[in-house]
Structure 1
Amino acid sequence: MLINTVKTLLGGPGTWIQAKNTRETMTITSPLSGESISFPQSETSDVKVAVRAGKAAQQRWEQVPVRERAAIMKKFASLVWKHDERLLDLIQAENGKARSHAFEELSDVAMTAMHYAKVAPGLLESKHVSGVLPILSRAVVHHHPVGVVGIISPWNYPLTLAVSDAIPALLAGNAVVIKPDSKTVMCALAARKLLIDAGLHPDLFQVVTGAGKVIGSSLAAESDFLMFTGSTAVGRKLAEQAGQRLIPFSAELGGKNPLIVLDDAPIARAVKSAVKSVTSNSGQLCISIERIYIEDSVWDRFISAFVSAMKKVKVGATTSWRWDMGPLISPQQLEAVSAHVDDAVKKGATVLCGGKPLPKVSKTAYAPTVLTDVTEEMMVAKEETFGPVVSLFRVRDAEEAIARANDSRYGLNASIWSTSKRGARLAQSIKSGTVNVNDGYIAAWASTSAPMGGMKDSGLGRRHGSEGILKYTEAQTVATSLGHPIQAPAFVTEKTWAKVMKLFIKGKY
């Protein structure tokens, strides 16, 4: 399936990767079918070639009117829908996720492209703002592209995280060079193919491949802006490298996302959403739920219904729509998830369901897992598991629930279940970049007009919203004095001028 899909979309991956100076190859093995496909591995010199070509193309691209750039993104979105079945096949083949979760990813790409195509002209246009002396001066703010944006994307959302950050960067007038994770290269190549088919110059979106320590570091050393999605540990290193060069850096990093169920929550809806929020993409989602805090008065009702629902999650490893969850992406990820659960059980946690691999489903499948009696010394309590595993905690009231939800070095996503007004009010007390009221993660994630990102160790900067495109620009203010320079005239003393300015400033502000 993987090989056939790649051939259909690309005609072969080799010509789509910037790797002309090497014969070394890497191999992808599908967690769904076990098929393998090889592709060229880039070298540091290839990164330099890609960035150099990107800079040349970018200088022409920034002269193209924003509305013409937007037209390309609109066509790209239509091509995503035109090839949706093949793209769903490819996402599943590379990542292993269920088809419904692959559809979430594909729809996010199309939605992001259409959203920014619509709003980019307005956000990027030069704007007149109030000058210091409205009659005697004026000020205009311009947004210039930064140049070449380097993107390092992970394996968990191989299409979305390859192109959804690139879309606003391209619309802002930049070129993009992306290094996708080595386990999920083909989705990035498919995105490149569709962008080119939509009318984008090939040098404006290039793909380099290889080990992050080598190629990722090289990309950070060459690009004018660095966008990273991945672990906090790697994010710190890349931020340091970007800081040394004084280039802008944005990152969505790890999470240990909480969900709070209060006594006035709609329990049936909360259970349904919580199951999806734990098992979507097999828990390999930066904003998935790994901790649930349940108010004492509804503990029994929630836990009974939730565990029952988790036991009914259908796990499969085919492209059928019937599966609720797919396998984990790799044996290494299976080992990591198993280690968290095994450590918790060894230290006294109780397994209410799951807690084991599912080898009859797939070599890397793991059962949806619910734990209680989790304590602080267990890895699963504080560390990101990145699998279909959730810990349940009983709390006295909303105050304790919020305090415990905030007791984490992470602050990426959260969910709170209560009446809408109360939930929205309490949500502001949760130290998280996005908080969903009566939803697990989709309400915030799919709100492309609103910023999304992490607090604390969960990242820097935002994607989505106006921040998601303006971060790829350099703001420039051009202020003009229309008559006399803004300083004391020759016939006015500095003391008198200061008195006049004091009166003016007090009146203006």
Structure 2
Amino acid sequence: MDDPTDAGQTVCVSPATGEEIGRSALNTVADVCGAVERGRTAQAAWAALTVKERAKRLKPLSAWLTAHADELAGTISKDNGKTRTDALAAEVLPAALAADFYCRKANGFLKDRRLMPGTLFMASKAAKIARVPYGVIGIISPWNYPFAIPFSEVVMALLAGNAVILKAASETQLVGRAIERCFSALALPAGLFTHINMPGGAAGPAFLEAGVDKLFFTGSVPVGKRLMALAAETLTPLVLELGGNDPMLVCPDADLQRAVAGAVWGGLQNCGQSCGGVERIYVHRSVYEPFVAALGDAVRRLRIGVDTDHQVDLGAMTTVKQMQAVEQQVAAAVAAGAVVAAQSDPPAGNRGNFMPARVLTGVDHTMAIMREETFGPVLGVMAVEDMAQAVALANDSDLGLTASVWTRDAREGERLARQIRAGVVMINDHLMSHGLPETPWGGFKQSGLGRTHGAVGMAEMTQVQCLVHDYLPGIRRNLWWHPHGPAVYRGLRGIMEMRYGRGVGKRMKGLASLAWIVPRMFTSDIPKGTTSTDRK
């Protein structure tokens, strides 16, 4: 059963064995409101610290993660179903790298930025951009990367001076509790970080009702749209990462060995449950047959099962519901003419959520498996006549999270990448940019709004405040201040004529009109001899 509850608790069940592995107490809307209120109180003092002081408090994170790496990888594996190696490589290790990176870079990302004057006439106005924390950030995280996705967002939000309320996925509550232990080990003010457990459909409305100042959501497109509609009522800003149907383009000069290995990892690790994973592959016809043959061999060799000794490549699907959705897409594609060209063998006689990894050929864009997010261990492969056709097919989707281009020609790879409508495009790699803390993560079209990670992601944790000083000494009033009159009008127009007028005469006339009203800047009273109809 997915997400079972019992007497106010979520019952955590291993996707690989079907056994109960723990329980997590459920929270109410009142609990969320209380957490936001406590977070707001704690945030005021936290934001008063310098960024360097906040980074010092968070600096022990990487060492803590390292000391508990095996425990965390084991918890993620049991709760989500992925292998421990996958959990370590794609979740714990990136989290440790991210914590170190953001603690080192936060001060630079968040420092005030001075703006150069845009025009000589306003050069006395010195402006700068300051980054102001929102207050209380709400984060709703998914079950496919239950540790890595929320972890970086929590770290960035805290470094930026916010309090955080985290709602971890109901399906992976043990991981949510592990994140809670991680941040509890730090010397943070009480109430600054709170983990909440409640059903997914109730969490977003509860966060918005409680008054979070910004909401980060990772999940499906339909849920993201509903949250956006709810947030519109209070104009609560959102960052949405809503999934993808990511293309992989294989050029005729690609290193096929690397491309095949990249497709297997980028498309099938975590049992294909990656919003930024490879789902559809477009291969130049000249290398299509050898590519498909090599891909089939690699997929057939994948070992699927319970991870007891690190001797399996793929673990279990996280939920039965997702297994059923994948099977429906595969069955519909096969009924429409697709062929299962290769598949791996799941373990026999096991009660876990195991399913084969598959390669489909004979697919086209009339099939849902090539148009919609599959979120499972399936790779659809199509031959293309040229790479222009591959780009067109890659863009034939209402999703645009990530993509990849595989070629030995770096310049050609980037040329093609720039034509793909996706938030991240990698050349000769796929998916792993989520583990690069310096790179922004997010998509085009219905893949979401906003970005996480890197300097861009850190900026999402703050509001922009512009500060403007007037440093010119002796000025009593600006040229356009009251009282007004014809001379003031002519002088202001003279600024435009002096700068943009056609011909020397026009510009000199503008200069004279401006010079006539400059003295009024140094007086606070109406100059003597000025009539009411011609005040300077």
Pair 1:500-2:495 in alignment: yes
Q: Shift of the alpha carbon at 1:355?
A: 8.1
**What residue identity is the alignment partner of 2:253?**
D
Once the two structures are superposed, residues 335-367 of structure 1 have per-residue CA deviations (whole angstroms, 9 ceiling, x without a partner) of 111111122122221001228865535521111
Pair 1:42-2:32 in alignment: no
Structure 1 vs Structure 2 CA RMSD: 2.0
Q: Which residue of 2 aligns with 1:160?
A: 148
Q: Shift of the alpha carbon at 1:134?
A: 6.0
Q: Shift of the alpha carbon at 1:128?
A: 2.1
Which of 391, 394, 410 is the matching residue for 1:420? 410
Q: Which residue of 2 aligns with 1:387?
A: 376
Q: Shift of the alpha carbon at 1:502?
A: 5.5
- Counterpart Cα distance in 1 of 2:348 and 2:278: 24
Once the two structures are superposed, residues 117-165 of structure 1 have per-residue CA deviations (whole angstroms, 9 ceiling, x without a partner) of 1111112122222245564221121111001101111100111122211
Matched position secondary structure for 1:414: strand
Once the two structures are superposed, residues 53-96 of structure 1 have per-residue CA deviations (whole angstroms, 9 ceiling, x without a partner) of 11111111101111121122221111011100000000101101
Distance 1:307 1:361, change over 3 A: farther
- Contact map agreement 2:300 2:345 (CA 8 A) in 1: no
Q: Shift of the alpha carbon at 1:323?
A: 1.6
Distance 1:312 1:246, change over 3 A: same
Distance 1:131 1:505, change over 3 A: farther
- Counterpart Cα distance in 1 of 2:469 and 2:25: 53
Q: Which residue of 1 aligns with 2:355?
A: 366
Q: Shift of the alpha carbon at 1:293?
A: 0.3
Matched position secondary structure for 2:217: strand
Q: Which residue of 2 aligns with 1:191?
A: 179
Q: Which residue of 2 aligns with 1:7?
A: none
Q: Which residue of 1 aligns with 2:263?
A: 274
- Contact map agreement 1:417 1:439 (CA 8 A) in 2: yes
Distance 1:281 1:362, change over 3 A: farther
Q: Which residue of 1 aligns with 2:47?
A: 62
Pair 1:182-2:170 in alignment: yes
- Contact map agreement 2:16 2:354 (CA 8 A) in 1: no
Q: Which residue of 2 aligns with 1:119?
A: 105
**What residue identity is the alignment partner of 1:249?**
L
Which of 314, 326, 333 is the matching residue for 1:325? 314
Matches within 5 A, 1:86-235: 86-103=71-88, 104-131=90-117, 133=121, 135-221=123-209, 222-235=211-224
Q: Shift of the alpha carbon at 1:216?
A: 2.4
Matched position secondary structure for 1:185: helix
Q: Shift of the alpha carbon at 1:220?
A: 2.6
- Counterpart Cα distance in 1 of 2:353 and 2:261: 25
Matched position secondary structure for 1:391: strand
**What residue identity is the alignment partner of 1:438?**
N
- Counterpart Cα distance in 1 of 2:360 and 2:421: 24
Once the two structures are superposed, residues 176-229 of structure 1 have per-residue CA deviations (whole angstroms, 9 ceiling, x without a partner) of 101111111121221222222122234111111111222321113321100000
Distance 1:93 1:137, change over 3 A: same
Which of 408, 411, 427 is the matching residue for 2:400? 411
Which of 217, 229, 238 is the matching residue for 1:249? 238
Percent identical? 34
Distance 1:175 1:114, change over 3 A: same
Matched position secondary structure for 2:349: coil
Larger radius of gyration: 2
Matched position secondary structure for 1:264: coil
- Counterpart Cα distance in 1 of 2:9 and 2:356: 34
Q: Which residue of 1 aligns with 2:517?
A: none
- Contact map agreement 2:24 2:174 (CA 8 A) in 1: no
- Contact map agreement 1:448 1:464 (CA 8 A) in 2: yes
Once the two structures are superposed, residues 448-478 of structure 1 have per-residue CA deviations (whole angstroms, 9 ceiling, x without a partner) of 2221111001010011121101111111111
Matched position secondary structure for 1:121: helix
Distance 1:154 1:165, change over 3 A: same
- Contact map agreement 1:99 1:320 (CA 8 A) in 2: no
Distance 1:420 1:135, change over 3 A: closer
Distance 1:356 1:254, change over 3 A: farther
